[in-house]
Chains A and B, each alone.
Chain A
């Protein structure tokens, strides 16, 4: 029973960060129909951002997201405005290939600058895990979990309550109708892409103290992202949150009850099954 509770808790902790990454990917898909293969690399950039803050600026990685969120937002604006904007009308497959190229470019650029060495971030206050009710909770993951929830709630409020948020949701539902209602679709697309990038980057910075950093980590993360958004239904924000938490729990339960080596495979098998039999996601809210 204790093992079960333990794996549920660690699953939810990681899942909250998966959810954050997934939300970024899913809003981008919803508004622009871009399957962003470079999304995992944005997470990777966030991880290296946190690493830089700790090593050179001596700033706590969790505080450093105050710097990296605006930086990532600007990177997102730049990528969309100067690179992706002209590709989007060429169709989903072309953007898929284009962002795959972008992903390889970013990952290899970081590989050249930072080399392929595995790096870790060590925090002084994070040596011993917390032990509430006999369940071990690593401190970095607990902080990341709290901040991920804060950020996701803030984003949700933004999407539901503000005009820009409404514009994003409207464009996601029906771009042409949104344009006719006076939504500036172009501006909405830039904001959405930048927002998605900032979310991925922030999630990366929050994850950095709990994972190994290396330049091609995005490859694995992007596969997970797709599992998450397809589970929840492509384009659906609540779906991505649920999908992220679900994948986190499934992975940690799988590692305990099925097998550690096949832990990553379980998510992929579920992914294929959902794609084949419930293409609009487990909750039937996405669009296929």
Chain B
């Protein structure tokens, strides 16, 4: 049964803009998918290795700025810039990881928060590169033809397909993570880092690799963010709030699961964006509330609990 659900879900994902074409709906779907990528990115580190990072906006910001700067200064189109942004984020993760992974548990979390804040300040003040607090703006995206038709960037649908492909890749990477040695090592570290070390797992290398992979997807999502919104500034892409939102989506959805970030993004982003349409501010109130409920009553997250329920029903 499970085998037939996945292709069906992918088909539905790709057909969605044909079924409902209201611009708000498509914007909502784009946001859900972008946050799925970010949640999946956080899940790769936080879910598998159990290292809680409060500084993932660093990688999102690095990807966003790389994509923007490549386009504005060198004229490289964002669709090449996005993967490069991911690679830059993955590279930045190496030194950050080798510093912060000296610390454990909550101390690691606090150190990532501090690193992210330092990087935000650097982005704010390195004006020759980042244009400082003014931010960077794209006015038009370059023309591109896809299967003989020129792509209309005024329409949101092309963005939808780009982020859908990225989201599928992120979820596939999570799946691979649960199937490979890296994933198994990571889980061992999450359960007991000292025992993992004792049986010969290189815990620093494993955690840095997981962080790098995680950072790659956050960077790719950042590149997409820049391209979709046409505008970035340090307080938008390097903010603590963004890091915290990623944590919430991954945890509320369900850690270490493949579909968790998607479920988390569907629940939180749908509500958040609808709330924002009505009240303009305070849309994160629901995020906070859900986080408290999930930690208290659903330690495996929404999807973790649902999956358990499905299994007991089906067997």
The residues of A with any CB-CB pair to B shorter than 8 Å are 35, 83, 86-87, 90, 92-94, 96-98, 100-109, 111-112, 115-116, 216, 219, 223, 226-227, 230, 259, 261-262, 264-265, 268-269, 271-272, 275-276, 279, 288
A166 to B118 alpha-carbon distance, docked (Å): 39
26 contacts between A and B (CB under 8 A): A87-B296, A93-B52, A96-B52, A97-B247, A97-B251, A97-B291, A98-B291, A98-B295, A100-B247, A101-B290, A101-B291, A101-B292, A102-B292, A105-B285, A106-B288, A107-B284, A108-B285, A111-B285, A112-B282, A112-B285, A261-B125, A262-B121, A265-B117, A268-B118, A276-B102, A279-B103
- Nearest-neighbour CB distance to chain A for B152, whole angstroms, equals 35
With A108-B288, A109-B282, A223-B114: A90-B295 Cβ-Cβ less than 8 Å? yes
A259 to B111 alpha-carbon distance, docked (Å): 23
Residue B283, interface by CB 8 Å? yes
**Once the chains bind, are A100 and B282 in contact (CB under 8 Å)?**
no
**Once the chains bind, are A276 and B99 in contact (CB under 8 Å)?**
yes
Instruction: Please give, as numbers and ranges, the residues of chain A lying within 8 Å of B107 by CB-CB distance.
Output: 275, 279, 288
**Once the chains bind, are B288 and A102 in contact (CB under 8 Å)?**
yes
Nearest neighbor of B244 in chain A, beta-carbon distance: A100
A271 to B118 alpha-carbon distance, docked (Å): 11
A interface SS class: helix
Instruction: Please give, as numbers and ranges, the residues of chain A lying within 8 Å of B111 by CB-CB distance.
Output: 272, 275-276
Residue B287, interface by CB 8 Å? yes
**Once the chains bind, are B244 and A272 in contact (CB under 8 Å)?**
no
**Once the chains bind, are A35 and B110 in contact (CB under 8 Å)?**
yes
A102 to B54 alpha-carbon distance, docked (Å): 15
Most chain A beta carbons < 10 A, residue from B102, B251, B295 = B295
**Once the chains bind, are B285 and A109 in contact (CB under 8 Å)?**
yes
**Once the chains bind, are B114 and A272 in contact (CB under 8 Å)?**
yes
- Mask of B271-307 contacts with A, CB within 8 angstroms, 1/0: 0000000010111110111111001100100000000
A262 to B117 alpha-carbon distance, docked (Å): 11
- Mask of B241-268 contacts with A, CB within 8 angstroms, 1/0: 1001001100100000000000000000
A98 to B277 alpha-carbon distance, docked (Å): 27
- Nearest-neighbour CB distance to chain B for A230, whole angstroms, equals 7
Residue B168, interface by CB 8 Å? no
**Once the chains bind, are A264 and B121 in contact (CB under 8 Å)?**
yes
**Once the chains bind, are B106 and A104 in contact (CB under 8 Å)?**
no
- Nearest-neighbour CB distance to chain B for A251, whole angstroms, equals 13
Instruction: Please give, as numbers and ranges, the residues of chain B lying within 8 Å of A279 by CB-CB distance.
Output: 103, 107
Instruction: Please give, as numbers and ranges, the residues of chain B lying within 8 Å of A102 by CB-CB distance.
Output: 288, 292
Given A87-B296, A105-B288, 17 more pairs with CB closer than 8 A: A83-B292, A90-B295, A92-B106, A93-B109, A97-B251, A100-B247, A100-B291, A101-B248, A102-B292, A104-B244, A104-B248, A104-B288, A108-B284, A108-B288, A261-B125, A275-B111, A276-B111
A124 to B75 alpha-carbon distance, docked (Å): 57
Residue B31, interface by CB 8 Å? no
Instruction: Please give, as numbers and ranges, the residues of chain A lying within 8 Å of B34 by CB-CB distance.
Output: none
Residue B124, interface by CB 8 Å? yes
With A105-B289, A116-B281, A261-B124: A93-B118 Cβ-Cβ less than 8 Å? no
- Nearest-neighbour CB distance to chain B for A36, whole angstroms, equals 11
With A109-B285, A226-B110: A87-B295 Cβ-Cβ less than 8 Å? yes
Instruction: Please give, as numbers and ranges, the residues of chain B lying within 8 Å of A276 by CB-CB distance.
Output: 99, 102-103, 111
Residue B64, interface by CB 8 Å? no
**Once the chains bind, are A115 and B114 in contact (CB under 8 Å)?**
no
Instruction: Please give, as numbers and ranges, the residues of chain B lying within 8 Å of A226 by CB-CB distance.
Output: 110, 113-114
A90 to B114 alpha-carbon distance, docked (Å): 25
Instruction: Please give, as numbers and ranges, the residues of chain A lying within 8 Å of B94 by CB-CB distance.
Output: none
Most chain A beta carbons < 10 A, residue from B106, B115, B291 = B106
A92 to B110 alpha-carbon distance, docked (Å): 12
Residue B105, interface by CB 8 Å? yes
With A96-B52, A269-B118: A108-B106 Cβ-Cβ less than 8 Å? no
- Nearest-neighbour CB distance to chain B for A81, whole angstroms, equals 14
Instruction: Please give, as numbers and ranges, the residues of chain A lying within 8 Å of B106 by CB-CB distance.
Output: 35, 92-93, 96
Contact of B114 among A103, A116, A261, A268 (CB under 8 A): A268
Nearest neighbor of A288 in chain B, beta-carbon distance: B107
A97 to B255 alpha-carbon distance, docked (Å): 13
Residue B167, interface by CB 8 Å? no
Nearest neighbor of B102 in chain A, beta-carbon distance: A276
**Once the chains bind, are A97 and B282 in contact (CB under 8 Å)?**
no
Within B78-108, the residues touching A (CB, 8 Å) are: 99, 102-103, 105-107
**Once the chains bind, are A104 and B121 in contact (CB under 8 Å)?**
no
Residue B177, interface by CB 8 Å? no
Contact of A111 among B122, B125, B281, B287 (CB under 8 A): B281
- Nearest-neighbour CB distance to chain A for B173, whole angstroms, equals 23
**Once the chains bind, are A112 and B105 in contact (CB under 8 Å)?**
no
Instruction: Please give, as numbers and ranges, the residues of chain A lying within 8 Å of B33 by CB-CB distance.
Output: none
A104 to B240 alpha-carbon distance, docked (Å): 11
Instruction: Please give, as numbers and ranges, the residues of chain A lying within 8 Å of B295 by CB-CB distance.
Output: 87, 90, 94, 97-98, 101
**Once the chains bind, are B291 and A262 in contact (CB under 8 Å)?**
no
Instruction: Please give, as numbers and ranges, the residues of chain A lying within 8 Å of B248 by CB-CB distance.
Output: 100-101, 104
Contact of A264 among B117, B244, B279, B288 (CB under 8 A): B117
